[in-house]
A = this chain, B = another copy of it.
Amino acid sequence: MSTGAEVVVNRLLAEGVDVCFANPGTSEMHFVAALDAAPAMRPVLCLFEGVATGAADGYARIAGTPAATLLHLGPGMANGLANLHNARRAFTPVVNVVGDHATYHQPLDAPLESDIDALGRWTQGSVHRPESAADLDAAVHAAVHSATSTPGRVATLILPADYSWGSTPQNLLSDNGVGGSETGDADTLLDAAGAAELLRAQGERAVLLLGGAATHADGLRAAARINAATGARVLVETFPARLTRGQGVPVIERLGYLAEQATQQLSGATHLVLVGAKSPVSFFAYPGKPSVLVPDGTEVSTLVVDELVGLADELGGVAPAPAQPGPAELPTGPLNPQNLAQVIAALLPENAIISDEANTSGVFLPAATASAPRHDVLTLTGGAIGQGLPVAVGAAIAAPHRPVIALQSDGSAAYTISALWTMAREQLDVTVVILNNHAYAILQLELLRVGTQANGERSRSLLDLSRPDIDFALIAQGFGVPATRATTAEQLADQFRTALAEPGPHLIDAALPTWSPG
């Protein structure tokens, strides 16, 4: 029994397409896994989608036959569009393979959801969206045929994840949160009085989910007071645009990225009140797991952010005194994600802005920085990686007197690495710390989570960023940013302190152990 992804790979090979320029993500993990059983297909990892699409163009101009790409949903295809435009103008045949959310996940408007078909049409080529898993073979054939017709064109083949894993799950949608509106948001709008009544009655069975402006200091304080007055639980959305944290600001947990975490955080809730946030859905769909994270039977309602402080006043709660920061202890020893987080937390300057695209390696940061000096965290709201360095540029220009710290994973850093040059040109006070674990670690984890059995050399080569290791210190120097490399916690502390003290941008390439799934 083949998975849908295996059907796709085998049909591509049967049609003579045997090279795939890839920059995959979670929704493409079954395609990646299928490569192990298809040694005739050559996967070529590219660190940015514009490289993959341009390579597919160059390949076909010389080979005379098309290559495939493998791109990650709409944002991944967006990154590859400009070179698809050049391919269009060259009449180059390209089989542009784009993963999509599972079909039942698409209506939930999860963070990476977008109109992939519109991007396909933009290339003036053809768009092929199979209607079922059984339609995959025919869709691949049609895409290759269209790409290679005269004149050649870009044929975009959209592969929903559930078709790739080859089963169509039933009953995975909860009854909640996908009702009247397309976005899964609640229909019931509460005012402060109504919310007060609800929270008093429900106590800890109620959960407030904070997003938008509710995650700034005032909103968080109000939410902490509401919690104190009623026992209602409070959570911050998974990827807030701007979250204030640190001394004097209540510590409010974020909803977990992993659906398993989020489900646990929301368990037992009978009422969910959205305050500037959307009703939570999982980032991706996973075989046999629910996409809607709101427990069955939970009532979902909305309170506008502007009412939050009024609600706290009405309830009359008093926020608990913020925890006193412990002495900042600097760790020692070879660098790892845990002591890296401790170093950042211990040395974090007052009023810092953190641009957080640390991804997998950043798992210990929230706990470590909870009692650090007050700071704002800007997170990756839409899941389109390559945002951390650009966001740091913008934040530094918006707030020239605040220290900006970009905590940046290696794989994502490569997407928009030229942001370093603008930091140098403008002499921005940005300290970039590359959390360099030589891997698309999040994907190694996701490969397991989507239930594939892949552990072959070919599939793992697409998730591994060693061979060669990337030396971000050299790259930074090439773009005019002074840079160092840290392999121990002591070195990181020294270099981080120096970088913060000196004006202008700095980069620290923090060498973490090469990541492999536990």
| A503 located at the interface, meaning its Cβ lies under 8 Å from any Cβ of chain B in the complex | no
| A494 located at the interface, meaning its Cβ lies under 8 Å from any Cβ of chain B in the complex | no
> Is the beta-carbon distance between B468 and A424 smaller than 8 angstroms?
yes
Q: Given B47, B62, B476, which contacts A395 in the complex, CB threshold below 8 Å?
A: B62
A236 to B421, CA, bound (A): 38
| A397 located at the interface, meaning its Cβ lies under 8 Å from any Cβ of chain B in the complex | yes
> Is the beta-carbon distance between A394 and B82 smaller than 8 angstroms?
no
Question: Which residues of A in the span 405-454 have a Cβ within 8 Å of any Cβ on B?
Answer: 414-419, 421-422, 424-426
Question: Which residues of A in the span 37-70 have a Cβ within 8 Å of any Cβ on B?
Answer: 42, 44-48, 50-63, 67
| A473 located at the interface, meaning its Cβ lies under 8 Å from any Cβ of chain B in the complex | yes
A221 to B490, CA, bound (A): 68
Interface centre among A42, A63, A381 (most CB of B within 10 A): A381
> Is the beta-carbon distance between A50 and B416 smaller than 8 angstroms?
yes
A130 to chain B, nearest CB (A): 22
Minimal Cβ-Cβ distance residue in B for A65: B398
Minimal Cβ-Cβ distance residue in B for A415: B50
| A162 located at the interface, meaning its Cβ lies under 8 Å from any Cβ of chain B in the complex | no
> Is the beta-carbon distance between B90 and A426 smaller than 8 angstroms?
no
In the complex, the count of this chain's copies comes to 2
Binding-face segment, A28-36, A111-119, A319-327, A330-338:
A111-119
Question: Which residues of A in the span 440-484 have a Cβ within 8 Å of any Cβ on B?
Answer: 467-480
| A391 located at the interface, meaning its Cβ lies under 8 Å from any Cβ of chain B in the complex | yes
| A386 located at the interface, meaning its Cβ lies under 8 Å from any Cβ of chain B in the complex | yes
Q: Given B91, B417, B471, which contacts A212 in the complex, CB threshold below 8 Å?
A: B91
A436 to chain B, nearest CB (A): 11
A376 to B476, CA, bound (A): 34
A314 to chain B, nearest CB (A): 23
| CB neighbours of A122 from chain B (8 A) | 74, 78, 114-115, 118-119
> Is the beta-carbon distance between A393 and B58 smaller than 8 angstroms?
yes
> Is the beta-carbon distance between A392 and B472 smaller than 8 angstroms?
no
A351 to chain B, nearest CB (A): 11
A123 to chain B, nearest CB (A): 9
| A368 located at the interface, meaning its Cβ lies under 8 Å from any Cβ of chain B in the complex | no
Question: Which residues of A in the span 77-117 have a Cβ within 8 Å of any Cβ on B?
Answer: 78-79, 81-83, 85-92, 111, 114-115
A471 to B421, CA, bound (A): 11
A124 to B44, CA, bound (A): 33
| CB neighbours of A402 from chain B (8 A) | 62
Minimal Cβ-Cβ distance residue in B for A469: B480
| CB neighbours of A475 from chain B (8 A) | 474-475, 478-479
| A75 located at the interface, meaning its Cβ lies under 8 Å from any Cβ of chain B in the complex | yes
A424 to B58, CA, bound (A): 17
> Is the beta-carbon distance between A45 and B382 smaller than 8 angstroms?
no
A76 to B45, CA, bound (A): 24
Q: Given B60, B74, B477, which contacts A394 in the complex, CB threshold below 8 Å?
A: B60
Minimal Cβ-Cβ distance residue in B for A123: B114
- Give A372-398 as 1s and 0s: 1 = Cβ < 8 Å from B's Cβ atoms: 000010101111101101111111011
| A492 located at the interface, meaning its Cβ lies under 8 Å from any Cβ of chain B in the complex | no
Minimal Cβ-Cβ distance residue in B for A92: B241
| A242 located at the interface, meaning its Cβ lies under 8 Å from any Cβ of chain B in the complex | yes
| CB neighbours of A119 from chain B (8 A) | 122
Minimal Cβ-Cβ distance residue in B for A86: B382
| CB neighbours of A44 from chain B (8 A) | 393, 397, 422, 425-426
| A21 located at the interface, meaning its Cβ lies under 8 Å from any Cβ of chain B in the complex | yes
| CB neighbours of A353 from chain B (8 A) | 62
Q: Given B58, B397, B415, which contacts A390 in the complex, CB threshold below 8 Å?
A: B58
| A193 located at the interface, meaning its Cβ lies under 8 Å from any Cβ of chain B in the complex | no
| A355 located at the interface, meaning its Cβ lies under 8 Å from any Cβ of chain B in the complex | yes
Q: A60-B394, A469-B480 are in contact. List 13 more A-B contacts (CB 8 A).
A: A44-B397, A44-B426, A54-B389, A54-B393, A58-B378, A61-B391, A67-B394, A78-B78, A79-B79, A83-B390, A86-B382, A414-B418, A476-B478
What 5 A-B pairs have minimum CB-CB distances, sorted nearest first? A54-B390, A58-B394, A468-B480, A58-B391, A59-B394
